């Protein structure tokens, strides 16, 4: 067990330029980009995580509106 504790205290630093990050993101599929952004938001924003919990609770309790109801009467492109 002490070995696990020691490993959890190891800090790994990665040097990554903004240019490198942009290049890496450009190489991702749209789905992977979306997943990356969602994971980044989840890792950096407690507010984002709370909004997900609230949305899941609303869904579970039936407080939802269909796509058709939400956009009823609106002009579609």
Helix, strand, coil shares of the chain, percent, nearest 5, are 65, 0, 35
Question: Quick one: average pLDDT of 35-64?
Answer: 92
Is the pTM value of this prediction over 0.85? no
Distance between CA atoms of 38 and 31, rounded to whole angstroms? 11
Q: How confident is the model at residue 20 (pLDDT cuts 50, 70, 90)?
A: very high
Two tokens at 5? Answer: 């504790």
Two tokens at 75? Answer: 């002009």
Distance between CA atoms of 21 and 36, rounded to whole angstroms? 12
The residue ranges of every structural domain in the chain are 2-70
CB 50 within 8 A of CB 56: no
pLDDT at 76: 65
């Amino acid at each position: 067990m002490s070995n696990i504790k020691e490993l959890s205290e190891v800090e790994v630093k990665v040097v990554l330029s903004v240019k490198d990050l942009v290049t890496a993101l450009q190489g991702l599929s749209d789905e992977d980009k979306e997943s990356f952004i969602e994971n980044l938001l989840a890792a950096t924003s407690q507010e984002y995580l709370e909004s997900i919990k609230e949305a899941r609770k609303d869904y579970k309790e039936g407080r939802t509106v269909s796509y058709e109801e939400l956009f009823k009467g609106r002009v579609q492109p």
